[in-house]
Amino acid sequence: MTRTAARQIAIQLSFAAASAGVSAQEAFDSFFDREHYSTLSSEDKLFTDYPDAKQLEYIRTLTSLISEHREELDGYIEKYSKGWRTDRISRTAAAILRCSMCEILYMDEVPNAAAINEAVELAKSYDEPETVSFVNGILGSFIRGELEKAGEDGQ
């Protein structure tokens, strides 16, 4: 399983946990029950291979961080979505943005450019072209507005 596939699973799992109103850990535990997971491959080839220990840890960490920092991440989405009402942003695009922002802010092993590129590629597979541009624009503005500003403040 690739990091891209693990990221995609983390996004789906975070989305499902938030929709069901359960904790990230509870959603993770039930989702990765081997018997349950084995039934998913008939629905989507993404679930053909069961993640190894390193991939499971990445998915667990990412889904937990997204859950823990959801309000903060949503605040960034709202701040940088100028011209878009937040209720107009698709739930899928919001989930992808949360994931990418979370990787940028809290997962040092994921390069910022990789987090953004992966978000754009995932958005292409789920949303319309204008949403893909929106995701790219939000993340670019987020990097410029938050990380470059923080770098200036720290100098």
Cα separation, 68 vs 73, in Å, equals 10
pLDDT category, 154, cuts 50, 70, 90? very low
Query: What are 27-38's pLDDT values in tens digits?
Result: 999 999 999 999
Residues 6 or more apart from 99 whose CB is under 8 A from it?
7, 10, 11, 14, 62, 66, 119
DSSP state letters, 5-26: HHHHHHHHHHHHHHHHT--HHH
Residues 6 or more apart from 155 whose CB is under 8 A from it?
none
Query: What are 87-141's pLDDT values in tens digits?
Result: 778 888 999 999 999 999 999 999 999 999 999 999 998 878 888 888 999 999 9
Q: Is residue 93 within 8 Å of 134, Cβ to Cβ?
A: yes
Task: Give phi and psi for 48, each to the nearest 5.
Answer: -65, -45
Q: For residue 150, what pLDDT is reported?
A: 61
For the entire predicted model, the pTM comes to 0.88
> Residue 25 has which token pair?
């850990």
